[in-house]
Structure 1
């Protein structure tokens, strides 16, 4: 695989932002265009976090997908309560820049969005809100119920230095207080119920059997909501916890699902 960076001034964020772009060996700037998978990191990650996955190179090399890795750090990929516009940045600026700079399928049928934890949840939100931009969602351990969280359900786990889940303060800086407009906008169950039928999506979601019980429960509830809403999806529970080892072990399935549901020239 070939790893590149693209940097430009982001009007949505108000400063220069950089994305990492990963090209498969089959990529060519001419000829048939390539579908694109936008992968979003988890809380506190960055645009290079996905590159730490040991299986990524082999998986990229065996699929015909351009991989785009944006970053938001400890902000979610949403337009949040503090006015940070990462939804606008991702859905409009990043997508438009990638389509202009690379040989891509420049339609919803050629675009997927996925991610881990925070990124997996945001991927589902944005595909449901912007079905004109994305047709496939792929989530590992998605934190889908973040807009519904009150207080700190992970307080008992705060002694774990590897815990990458925001404190109550950090959470409410993004989402605002319970009942806020931001929370209402991204409520996953409302988004599923009210999705635009003109833009169907395909969803892949999995969760580790050793993940936090709350995470397992919310993934099961999201699965049930997708079923009730007749949203085509594939759901898996497999060994692993809420970590990048779990993500890495599932890369082949995630890429196969994504490639199988995208338009490819």
Structure 2
């Protein structure tokens, strides 16, 4: 397997940024022949890619530092792309960086120009945990022509309730609401509201498949149950899993294996 840390100037973020890219390569436990390499490692046609999003306080290195995701991705022969988004909730911030534009426009263009990555929707996936779980669904539902599947693990999926709980001191969240949104008190039904975005996808006739998971000891468990119920009322194509565990890497490292199995189930 090959893991590369890239540093390049982002015209969207107006800064030199770092990102990690994982590319599967033949491993020592494989029967390595020219035929086997051509059969399994479709470099010319383009590899399927998973954009992996981090949570609050994290960055581009989180997944590789705290999980075994590169080993799991090797088994599925897929590429991984991991970039930083600060605590932005993957928004085009009202005061700050345009992270939604970076992740959905500039970053994929850069990745596909440098690495052997497929440009097909059916080969493009996105997943994340916590803030990144919201981000995965947000970016996918905002760009249904781009991603075929999106997975949220322990996701902060209800941005409206999160804001209300934050300003009422029910949770301690590192979110600068007035920097993220022009009117944070008007998030309900806005283009940052996942339920609104899902309804828009239904109207447009193109909906990414969704995966949702959460630990039963997670402080976001009830929020996840609420979002699940609201989507089930809409007959959404949703895979839901829950298990023991909290808002921890023990849960996410275990569940990313389930996510990759779901992404690449044929």
Aligned length: 251
Which residue is equivalent to 1:119? Answer: 132
**Mapped pair 1:194 → 2:200:** yes
Question: By how many angstroms is 1:157 displaced?
Answer: 6.2
Greater relative CO, 1 or 2 (CA 8 Å, sep 6+): 1
Q: Distance in 2 between matches of 1:14 and 1:108?
A: 28
Change in CA separation of 1:121 and 1:181 when aligned onto 2, cut-off 3 Å = closer
* Contact 1:150–1:178 (8 Å) recurs in 2: no
Question: CA, structure 1 residues 183+190, in 2 after alignment: closer, same or farther (shift >3 Å)?
Answer: closer
2:10 is the alignment partner of 1:4: no
CA offsets per residue over residues 206-237 of structure 1, 9 Å max, x none? 0011101xx11221122223323333111011
Q: Check conservation: 2:158, 2:223, Cα contact below 8 A.
A: yes
Q: CA RMSD in A?
A: 2.3
Comparing 120-129 with 11-20, greater Cα deviation is found at 11-20
Distance in 2 (CA, whole Å) between partners of 1:228 and 1:17 is: 41
Deviation of 1:153 after TM superposition, in Å, equals 6.7
Measured in 2, the distance between the counterparts of 1:102 and 1:182 equals 39
Q: Check the 8 A contact 2:177/2:184 in 1, yes or no.
A: no
- Give the TM-score normalised by the residue count of structure 2: 0.85
- Cα distance in 1 for partners of 2:171, 2:156 equals 16
Give the aligned partner of residue 179 of structure 1: 185
Q: What's the TM-score once normalised by structure 1's chain length?
A: 0.86
1:21 aligned residue: 21
- 2:164 corresponding residue in structure 1: 150
Contiguous gaps of at least 5 residues in structure 1 = 159-164
SS at match of 2:51: strand
In structure 2, relative to structure 1, the CA distance for the partners of 1:139 and 1:95 (3 Å cut) is same
Flag the 1:50–1:183 CA change in 2: closer, same or farther, 3 A: farther
Q: Does 1:211 align with 2:218?
A: yes
- Residues 146-191 of structure 1, C-alpha deviation per residue, up to 9 Å, x if partnerless? 2442252784665xxxxxx325xx2333234433479822111111
Contact 1:192 1:225 in 2 (8 A): no
Cα distance in structure 2, aligned partners of 1:183 and 1:227: 18
Q: Which residue of 2 aligns with 1:161?
A: none
5+ long unaligned stretches in structure 2? 27-39
Q: CA deviation at 1:252?
A: 1.2
- Bigger radius of gyration: 2
